Amino acid sequence: MMKKSVVRALIAIVVLAVAGWAGWASYRQIGGARTDTALYGNVDIREVDLAFNAEGVVETMVKHEGDPVKAGELIATLEDARYVSAVALATAKRDEAKARLDLLLAGTRQEEIDQARASLDAAQTNLTHADAVFKRQESLLKTATASIQTYEDAQAALASAHARVRQTSAALAEAIAGPRPQEIEAARAALASAEATLALAQTELSHTKLVSPATGIVMTRVIEPGTVVLPSASIYAVAITDEVWVRTFAPEPMLARIAPGTQVTVTTDAPGGKTYRGQIGYVSPAAEFTPKTVETPELRTQLVYRLRIRIEDPDSGLRQGMPVTIHLPPAAGTNG
């Protein structure tokens, strides 16, 4: 009797073992065609370090840690006296170059032409007189009435009168023709250079004001007013809150259910966690090994695809880096 009961017990154990193995195999088989709708991820950490693109002494810093900031809001300034003076100097040089170009484009004034013509008339009158004097001295020299010195002086005066006529005649022609095209092009180039210098000075002046590029919350205030900073030296670290994204990973069998545009719900893992609506905005086109931060046994040895989910109506309940659960819509042909 004792042996029969032992045999029955052994048989029962074997049967249970076989049944357990069959159940486990069935579970594994069902798991291969998984129908669960949950993924696990984290709220993206999105932050930006803000810095001046100029050097100088920090004059004001209006935000402190924890303060909200809006996109386009002024949050810090540098002392700008040097930059203001550079703009004033560049403006003056621009105005000078523009006046020079305008003068050339306007051409020669009529008054200047009239003045050049009068100078030519005077030179021609002087030439006529010098020619008469020379001829008279030349006649007197032949009769030995005039000295050679007087003759030579009259000859030099005549040559000078001829040169003066040529000079005033050229000046009149230049006044009538106006500036050369090359002079105008050179003036245009000088004006363009002055305008570029002014634009650069104005840009450098604008860099003395630090404006937040996005809406967020100040995480860190690195320095205090009075500090001398160089370009790119960090002033604030701001957590971006205008958009909230969730990052997670999904195995290949779930690719058909995570297409961009798919509506999902996201729940925080804290007790009594709030649920948010979201939309899958990006799915990686390339597979990668499961990251070490993903701890679920099913995913550790599988290739996964990274995806990001945009939360539609975020609030302060979603903190950057916090873990969340993503609920996908049921697969086609299931009852959720």
| CATH number, domain with residue 223 | 2.40.50.100
**Structural domain tally of the chain?**
2
Indicate whether 275 belongs to any domain. Answer: no
CA neighbor of 213 nearest in space, from 45, 53, 320, 44: 53
Tokens linked to 253: 């069998």
Whether 73 and 177 map to the same domain: the answer is no
pLDDT at 294: 58
Q: Is 61 helix (H, G, I), strand (E, B) or coil?
A: strand
Tokens linked to 246: 């969730």
* Secondary-structure percent of the chain, ordered helix, strand, coil, rounded to 5: 45, 25, 30
Q: What is the DSSP letter of 24?
A: H
pLDDT at 300: 53
Q: What is the DSSP letter of 42?
A: E
Q: What is the pLDDT of residues 51-79, one digit of tens each?
A: 999 999 999 999 999 999 999 999 999 99
Q: Identify the residue with better confidence: 298 or 99.
A: 99
pLDDT at 206: 96
CA neighbor of 56 nearest in space, from 234, 228, 202: 228
Evaluate if residue 251 carries a pLDDT over 80: yes
Indicate whether 10 belongs to any domain. Answer: no
pLDDT at 35: 41
Indicate whether 12 belongs to any domain. Answer: no
Which stretches does DSSP call E strand in the chain? 38-43, 47-51, 56-61, 68-69, 74-78, 209-211, 216-221, 228-229, 234-240, 245-251, 263-268, 275-283, 288-289, 303-311, 323-327
Indicate whether 336 belongs to any domain. Answer: no
Lowest mean pLDDT among 149-163, 247-261, 321-335: 321-335
Lowest mean pLDDT among 49-53, 191-195, 294-298: 294-298
Whether 176 and 101 map to the same domain: the answer is yes
Q: What is the pLDDT of residues 264-274, one digit of tens each?
A: 999 998 787 88
Whether 193 and 94 map to the same domain: the answer is yes
Indicate whether 264 belongs to any domain. Answer: no
Q: What is the pLDDT of residues 139-166, one digit of tens each?
A: 887 887 778 888 888 889 989 989 998 9
Beta carbons of 227 and 58 less than 8 angstroms apart: yes
Indicate whether 245 belongs to any domain. Answer: no
Q: What is the pLDDT of residues 11-32, one digit of tens each?
A: 444 444 443 343 333 333 333 3
pLDDT at 31: 36
User: What is the spatial order of strands in the sheet that 234-240 belongs to?
Assistant: 47-51, 234-240, 216-221, 68-69
Indicate whether 217 belongs to any domain. Answer: yes
pLDDT band at 100 (very low <50, low <70, confident <90, very high): very high
Average pLDDT over residues 31-41: 63
Match 């990001």 to its residue by tokens.
308
Average pLDDT over residues 172-178: 76
Whether 198 and 212 map to the same domain: the answer is no
Q: What is the pLDDT of residues 210-237, one digit of tens each?
A: 999 999 999 999 999 999 999 989 999 9
Whether 176 and 230 map to the same domain: the answer is no
Q: List the domain range (segments joined by +) for residue 72.
A: 48-79+207-240
Whether 144 and 215 map to the same domain: the answer is no
pLDDT at 121: 87
Q: If 0-12 CB within 10 Å is exposed, 13-18 middle and 19+ buried, where does residue 178 land?
A: middle
Q: In this structure, which amino acid lies at residue 48? A: V
303: Cβ–Cβ under 8 A, 6 or more apart, which residues?
A: 251, 252, 287, 288, 289, 290
pLDDT band at 293 (very low <50, low <70, confident <90, very high): low
Whether 105 and 175 map to the same domain: the answer is yes
Tokens linked to 63: 């935000």
Whether 118 and 227 map to the same domain: the answer is no
Distance from CA of residue 300 to its chain's centroid? 41
Indicate whether 175 belongs to any domain. Answer: yes
Whether 195 and 102 map to the same domain: the answer is yes
Q: In this structure, which amino acid lies at residue 333? A: G
